[in-house]
Amino acid sequence: MHSIRLDGYIRVSRVGGRHGDSFISPDAQRDQIEAFAKVMGAEVVQWHTDLDESGGKMDRPGLNAALARIDAGQTGGLIVAKIDRFARAAEAGAVVRQITDRGAVFASAAERLDPTTAIGKAMLGIMLVFAEMELDRIRDGWADSQERAVARGVHISSVPPTGYRWRSEDDKRLVVVPELAPVVAEMFRLRADGGSWEQLADHLNAHGVATPYNSPRWTGGSVQGIIENRAYLGESRGGVGFVNPDAHEAIIDVETWKAAQRAKGVAPTRRAEPHLLTGMVRCAGCRYTLKADTQKTRDGGKMRIYRCRGKQSGGVCDARAGVTAKLLDEYVVDAFFARFGEITATGRATNAELDAAETALTQAEVALVAYRDDDRILATLGNDRFVAGLQARVRAVEDAAAAVDELRGLKRLDGVPDVAVLRDVWQELPVAERRHLLRSVLDVVILRKARPRTQPVADRALILFGGEAPNDLPGRGRNAREGVSVIRPFPWPAGHPGAGRPDPA
């Protein structure tokens, strides 16, 4: 019984004269793919082969045909013998994201990567995030990769600046958006003429310009980033001293840009890196996202914090949570590494155990089909007793399938980075990359108000990992516009510290 229909993909970079441990013949790749598809309960419905094709080149006839079938909904996804047979790490990550973004499956036999299971899905997310940074960040050096990207005209950012778009999904060079560029240019001129930040925000709001993250409203603080951004001069920048002055078309001229920086004698501010957990922490008292903020210390310095705003679009929170960012960041990162190591290193299922479980599943499926299709059984037992017997056999198949899924998840995935390697480079990674990695494993952190004020973070922080967060958590403004009151406490689980007491007021 096959629940998934996949296309098989085979690649060999150079056919003639190949030998050695790294070479996997087309026939061997096909055998590996078919064996793993059987383990997954999948059927390979069509094959695609690219011979004499490099792993660094993604424009290949066979791969293009497979991706076209995925786009057309003619197949449920792609299965390969080994990820490095499919493509190099960085290139593979981009194409696998393209596949998974379309709701299709990507599976790999050598890494035992089966994203139809919960653990397999989590590991795929981790592998993709790590693949995006590993090739340049660890092997060649992060600075070298940024320098090369800037030289190519790549804009190093998670989103394009307002007024620009990416050249394509995989090409992060900037292209002017004709209908937005004049609005942005006028904003620079307004600032150069002495306009306030609030006036600039009103200008964008009046023209219906959305923020880079598709929020409908600009604020005085959010427009500062546009005015200070040298990308509007046509520059691409990255790292320390990497500049490409002719990376893309400019929206504003140099003199107007400089005048906007000098307006009212206000020098452009140097923006600090974002808090590590911005957008990931919610208040247990109201379920809204905590604000990443700072507060003054006794010596006049600034300390990063996360705090509940209190007044939300859905009402007022009576149990506002807050915490020092350093304490919560360290707690969550430790939990991330514990979970990461647990997923990648604690699996101890043997091939024999998995084979036995798969045999049991096959036997259960055979027994179910034989019972269901035997008219003599129905005639002998009658409808009620027949249905009861059928239900029992269905449960047996479900139990056997669950056992197989669990053992598959426990098979170590060799393509996943070792937790010790990731720990070693963690503090060197940009905050954006650390945030991507955290989000690949956890959904949200729920924080309760401290009682007493010295209550440890571990006793009031609840980490919900991938798939554990409820789908009805509120967003700022959304529920209020829909006329729904959403200020209510998060249901604290009974097994977690602090359970059984009311949220402190």
More confident residue, 315 or 255: 255
Whole-angstrom distance, CA of residue 327 vs CA of residue 459: 12
97-124 residue pLDDT tens? 788 878 889 988 877 777 776 666 666 7
394 Rama sector, left if φ>0, alpha if ψ -120 to 50, beta otherwise: alpha
Angle in degrees, 0-180, between the axes of helices 220-228 and 197-206, rounded to the nearest 10: 90
pLDDT at position 239: 54
455-469 residue pLDDT tens? 899 999 999 987 678
The residue whose two tokens read 């003599």 is 376
Least confident of 20-24, 71-75, 77-81: 20-24
Number of neighbours of residue 195 by Cβ within 10 angstroms: 19
Tokens (6 digits) for 187: 């904003």
- Given a cut of 60, whether residue 320 has pLDDT beyond it is yes
Residue spans of the domains in the chain: they are: 4-140, 164-265, 281-341+422-481, 351-410
Classified by CATH at the fold level, domain 4-140 comes out as Rossmann fold (3.40.50)
Q: What are phi and psi of 122, to 5 degrees?
A: -65, -40
More confident residue, 85 or 403: 403
Is residue 419 within 8 A of residue 130, CB to CB? The reply is no
- Given a cut of 50, whether residue 7 has pLDDT beyond it is yes
The residue whose two tokens read 């807050």 is 322
- Given a cut of 60, whether residue 323 has pLDDT beyond it is yes
Q: What are phi and psi of 51, to 5 degrees?
A: -105, 145
Whole-angstrom distance, CA of residue 440 vs CA of residue 340: 10
pLDDT average, residue stretch 411-418: 47
pLDDT average, residue stretch 386-397: 83
Instruction: Give residue 248's pLDDT band: very low, low, confident or very high (50, 70, 90).
Output: very high
* Percent of the chain surpassing pLDDT 90: 23
Q: How far from the centroid of its chain's Cα atoms is residue 413's Cα?
A: 19
Q: How far from the centroid of its chain's Cα atoms is residue 141's Cα?
A: 23
Is residue 427 within 8 A of residue 322, CB to CB? The reply is no
| Amino acid at site 86 | F
Is residue 407 within 8 A of residue 349, CB to CB? The reply is yes
Q: How far from the centroid of its chain's Cα atoms is residue 315's Cα?
A: 31
Whole-angstrom distance, CA of residue 178 vs CA of residue 164: 9
Whole-angstrom distance, CA of residue 11 vs CA of residue 85: 6
Q: What are phi and psi of 283, to 5 degrees?
A: -80, 130
pLDDT average, residue stretch 72-83: 89
Is residue 37 within 8 A of residue 6, CB to CB? The reply is yes
- Given a cut of 60, whether residue 350 has pLDDT beyond it is no
Q: Is the dihedral of CA 489, 491, 494, 495 positive or negative?
A: negative
Whole-angstrom distance, CA of residue 462 vs CA of residue 496: 8
Whole-angstrom distance, CA of residue 377 vs CA of residue 187: 79
Q: Reply yes or no on domain 164-265 having CATH 3.40.50.300.
A: no
When the pLDDT of each residue in the chain is averaged and rounded to a whole number, the result is: 78
More confident residue, 13 or 492: 492
* Percent of the chain surpassing pLDDT 70: 74
For the whole prediction, is pTM greater than 0.95?
no
Least confident of 7-21, 126-140, 346-360, 393-407: 126-140
Note the helical H segments in 161-310: 181-192, 197-206, 220-228, 254-262
Q: How far from the centroid of its chain's Cα atoms is residue 47's Cα?
A: 29
If we measure between CA atoms, which residue out of 161, 160, 100 comes closest to residue 131? 100
Whole-angstrom distance, CA of residue 475 vs CA of residue 267: 34
H or E element at residue 359: helix 351-372
pLDDT average, residue stretch 40-52: 89
Instruction: Give residue 241's pLDDT band: very low, low, confident or very high (50, 70, 90).
Output: low
- Given a cut of 90, whether residue 164 has pLDDT beyond it is yes
